[in-house]
Amino acid sequence: MSYDPAVALDFFKSTGKPAEVKKAQVIFAEKETNRLFQRSKIYFVLDGEVSLVAANKVLGSVKKGEIFGEMAALTHAPRSATAVARIDSTLIALDDQEFERALEKTPGFALMMMSMLVARLRDTIAKLSAAGKLSQEAEVKESAAFSRKQMEDLVRGLADDPPIYYQKGREIISAGSKAVLMYAVVQGRVAVSIDGRVVERLGPGGAFGEAALVDPSPRLASAVAETDCGLVVNQEPLPPVRDGTDGATESSLTVAEADQALTLPLLSIERNCT
């Protein structure tokens, strides 16, 4: 399931209220952290446009229907950029407690957000690699979606079985096959290819096949063990996510599973997107 602004709007409206911000108004500042009576918030742009600025350089803009500020809100890290209203705008903001309450109502939203964050991470790595700013070794390192602690938790919690080992050159997934499982690299290196061209290399902490968690469509890419490697695998597919467009029942994901899904790409995106 790809990012759907309508689903995001319903999610934010479930516990948050729209607020007006004027043109040039600063929403939060670079390096800003949580304070005693002011928690970091995640924002949805109901109307208008917001610019993201770091070190006096405009990094990009967030338009109607998009989300921003999720890194600091979810990781409690300092803000990596300043957010300022480019024009008069309307935003819905959720602090961590409001976000948790919204997840209780729609836990499947975490999977959609995870897919968005992983896509952002991969887009950033691709741009850096194309610009010659990443060596092959650095590309593998930067693609890690899991910290060491998260990887240990994943091995314990995501799969009951020990890691699966693949010899160098062995195909792990093939393009066109049914998407069912997600994989995380414990050791070694995996090359992900589309139409015969390597588009990503993943080392320990890297994850691939996560689209299976949100969309059972056939695989678009193939993955091959570039070295002998060990992987952990979610042995059972997670429940489907409601897309908000039909009468499907709500996702049966628990909040704990939703929180687990959101831990996948956060640290790497924080490091790469600043």
- Which CATH superfamily is 5-105 part of? Jelly Rolls (2.60.120.10)
Quote the CA–CA distance of 63 and 80 in Å, as a whole number. Answer: 19
SS3 107: coil
CB of 265 within 8 A of CB of 121?
yes
Structure-block tokens of residue 273: 């997107």
First-last CA distance in the chain? 27
Q: What residue ranges do the domains of the chain occupy?
A: 5-105, 109-272
Does residue 103 carry a pLDDT above 80? Answer: yes
Range from 137-141, 184-188, 191-195 carrying the lowest mean pLDDT: 137-141
pLDDT band per the 50, 70, 90 thresholds, residue 63: very high
CB of 231 within 8 A of CB of 183?
yes
221-240: per-residue pLDDT in tens? 899 999 999 988 765 544 44
Does residue 188 carry a pLDDT above 60? Answer: yes
Residue 172 DSSP symbol = E
Cβ contacts of residue 131 below 8 Å, gap of 6+?
A: none
Residue (of 112, 220, 111, 229) closest to 167 by Cα position: 229
CB of 190 within 8 A of CB of 206?
yes
pLDDT band per the 50, 70, 90 thresholds, residue 142: very low
Amino acid letter at 64? K
Q: For 109-272, which CATH class?
A: mainly beta
Give me the pLDDT at residue 11, please: 93
Quote the CA–CA distance of 188 and 226 in Å, as a whole number. Answer: 8
Residue (of 234, 260, 237) closest to 103 by Cα position: 260
The pTM of this model reads: 0.59
Does residue 165 carry a pLDDT above 60? Answer: yes
Phi, psi at 174, each rounded to 5°: -125, 145
CB of 147 within 8 A of CB of 164?
no
Same fold, 5-105 and 109-272: yes
Give me the pLDDT at residue 35, please: 65
Quote the CA–CA distance of 231 and 189 in Å, as a whole number. Answer: 10
Cβ contacts of residue 164 below 8 Å, gap of 6+?
A: 230, 231, 232, 233
More confident residue, 21 or 216: 21
CB of 271 within 8 A of CB of 205?
no
Does residue 169 carry a pLDDT above 60? Answer: yes
The mean pLDDT of 113-141, rounded to a whole number, is 61
